[in-house]
């Protein structure tokens, strides 16, 4: 296994462990219920998907505008 692969897997493992600690702290230390955590998780997914869709729409608009402007300049 290459050095870069080991570094990638180590970073991924440490990130997942940190996420696990955050979830444990939220549930154990602050008394947040599993239902509330699930609700927050799905809310986060909805917001992330909305941002991705909005960004994709903006890219499509920019590409179409660029093609239209290039067509007008050449013709």
* pLDDT number for residue 38: 87
Whole-prediction pTM? 0.60
What digits encode the pLDDT tens for the residues 15-71?
999 988 988 888 888 888 888 888 988 999 999 999 999 999 999 999 999 999 988
Phi and psi dihedrals of 32, rounded to 5?
Answer: -80, 130
Per-residue tokens: 28:
């154990």
Picking from 10, 12, 33, 29, the residue whose alpha carbon sits closest to that of residue 21 is 29
pLDDT at 75 over 80: no
Virtual CA dihedral for 25, 26, 30, 34, nearest 10 degrees?
-130
* pLDDT number for residue 72: 79
Q: Sorting pLDDT into bands at 50, 70 and 90, what band is 10? A: very high
């Amino acid at each position: 296994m290459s050095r870069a692969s080991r570094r990638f897997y180590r970073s991924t493992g440490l990130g997942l462990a940190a996420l696990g600690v955050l979830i444990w702290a939220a549930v154990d230390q602050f008394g947040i219920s599993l239902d509330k955590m699930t609700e927050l998780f799905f809310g986060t997914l909805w917001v992330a998907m909305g941002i991705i869709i909005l960004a994709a729409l903006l890219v499509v608009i920019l590409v179409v505008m660029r093609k239209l402007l290039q067509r007008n300049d050449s013709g």
